[in-house]
Chain A
């Protein structure tokens, strides 16, 4: 439940000691759960943010030089200098945004900068998740399949909307080790 069993370590919670919990202790133990529920309720602002970003996108691409704020926006022009500037996939923008998917914190993804290595590199996901619905289910609540996972439950905790998760999944399926360019 609210105790993750760390691989290779059993913290011995909650009934490793003989004494039973007082009501006060139970209250204190449950407080984080209440917090968690409250947090989940209070974080519904993403839809508004998404709209703003799409508007910016409509206005920006013609002159991308003035205000590239995210690393992904900054790196796009240099890569496609000779070719036509190709705007990043909307799913990439959401995945790389630290305030939305924040996927780079744990995963190496495409050309994403400063990627962490807690989780596996996100490439060739169609091998592990042949159907999009399987990948989406994992994004919505990875802990349903792997109770110990550190992977956040993006759907269950409303970190992302269903639409945002679909865009991310769509983007991730474009990342393959097969040379197709």
Chain B
């Protein structure tokens, strides 16, 4: 297919999501995705792209703002009023400070850990679990004799904010290796997303798939597509920057379900599912939300 032909069909929503599939299969760093999983990705993205035909895949990085009438202006205004400069600066300092053994994060990650946030989450076939960036940051610390950071704590969030900032605009390319354990983790994440839970008997999919763009109270519901692209994020209700898993727990509390701990297997599998389904969306984190 000529590149001009590709550009032409990119105007069709379905073709855009097909492109996302081809993208992650072709550019993927690990073995190609299981055929069923690729088909699921296409169907999942088509659902959103058909529902919001004027919204290109990349705009899903704006979350709920992308679905609001004056969303772009509101997001720009919020970005002006909430500065993320300090937390990024703090994260940069934490990154630059050497460990007691003289080593640093550069010793643990490819590209010194910079610009690689889109590598996560990934399925670690040897460890037989989903690995997130936070997890590997702590694994790096303990390997070099440093105490691990508390998940969701100020240091971890700042470091994550900085490392994510170095990856901004990179395209999400979560890969599912053709491995039964990896597929099982993906399936568990999917189950989690579609299962009703809590006193209020609501599934993630209700708010973030069926009713995305609608308002829950005065807040617009974000689409599940792209939902992993803008974290860590500042939220008005926190008055600070927090992680994706913290946001998962907000939702759980909201529907009257007991939240799981940050970095629990449940949340990591969910992040794996949502990350894969967000393939093709550029990272915009750390970002701001009302």
Q: B residues within 8 A CB of A36?
A: 196-198, 201, 257
Q: Is B188 an interface residue (CB 8 A)?
A: yes
- Would you list which residues of chain B between 9 and 37 have a CB under 8 Å from chain A? 36
Q: A residues within 8 A CB of B190?
A: 11, 13
In the assembly, what is the distance between CA of A39 and CA of B196, in Å?
A: 13
Q: Which residue on A lies nearest to B187, using beta carbons?
A: A17
Q: B residues within 8 A CB of A13?
A: 190-191, 194
Interface string of B198-216 (1 = CB under 8 A from A): 1111110111011100111
- Would you list which residues of chain A between 1 and 31 have a CB under 8 Å from chain B? 2-4, 6-9, 11-14, 16-17, 19, 25, 28-29
Main secondary structure of the interface of A (DSSP, over half): loop
In the assembly, what is the distance between CA of A143 and CA of B256, in Å?
A: 17
Binds B, one of A49-57, A85-93, A114-122, A171-179: A114-122
Whether the Cβ atoms of A159 and B200 lie closer than 8 Å is: yes
Take A11-B194, A39-B256 as given contacts and tell me if A117 and B215 are in contact as well, using a CB distance cutoff of 8 Å.
yes
Interface string of A124-164 (1 = CB under 8 A from B): 00000000000000000001000000101100010100000
Whether the Cβ atoms of A116 and B191 lie closer than 8 Å is: no
Q: Is B258 an interface residue (CB 8 A)?
A: yes
* Chain A interface size range: 35 or more
In the assembly, what is the distance between CA of A74 and CA of B217, in Å?
A: 18
In the assembly, what is the distance between CA of A43 and CA of B201, in Å?
A: 14
Q: Is B107 an interface residue (CB 8 A)?
A: no
In the assembly, what is the distance between CA of A135 and CA of B63, in Å?
A: 36
Whether the Cβ atoms of A3 and B195 lie closer than 8 Å is: yes
Q: Is B96 an interface residue (CB 8 A)?
A: no
Q: Is B43 an interface residue (CB 8 A)?
A: yes
Q: Which residue on A lies nearest to B255, using beta carbons?
A: A152
Q: B residues within 8 A CB of A143?
A: 201
Whether the Cβ atoms of A7 and B200 lie closer than 8 Å is: no
Take A17-B36, A17-B187 as given contacts and tell me if A11 and B198 are in contact as well, using a CB distance cutoff of 8 Å.
no
Q: Is A76 an interface residue (CB 8 A)?
A: no
Q: Is A123 an interface residue (CB 8 A)?
A: no
Q: Is B183 an interface residue (CB 8 A)?
A: yes
Whether the Cβ atoms of A32 and B201 lie closer than 8 Å is: no
Q: Is A104 an interface residue (CB 8 A)?
A: yes
Q: Is A40 an interface residue (CB 8 A)?
A: yes
> Which of A19, A25, A43, A105 touches B216 (beta carbons < 8 Å)?
A105
Whether the Cβ atoms of A152 and B191 lie closer than 8 Å is: no
In the assembly, what is the distance between CA of A150 and CA of B197, in Å?
A: 11
Which residues of B does A touch, CB under 8 Å? 36, 40, 43-44, 47, 51, 180, 183-184, 187-188, 190-203, 205-207, 209-211, 214-218, 221, 256-258
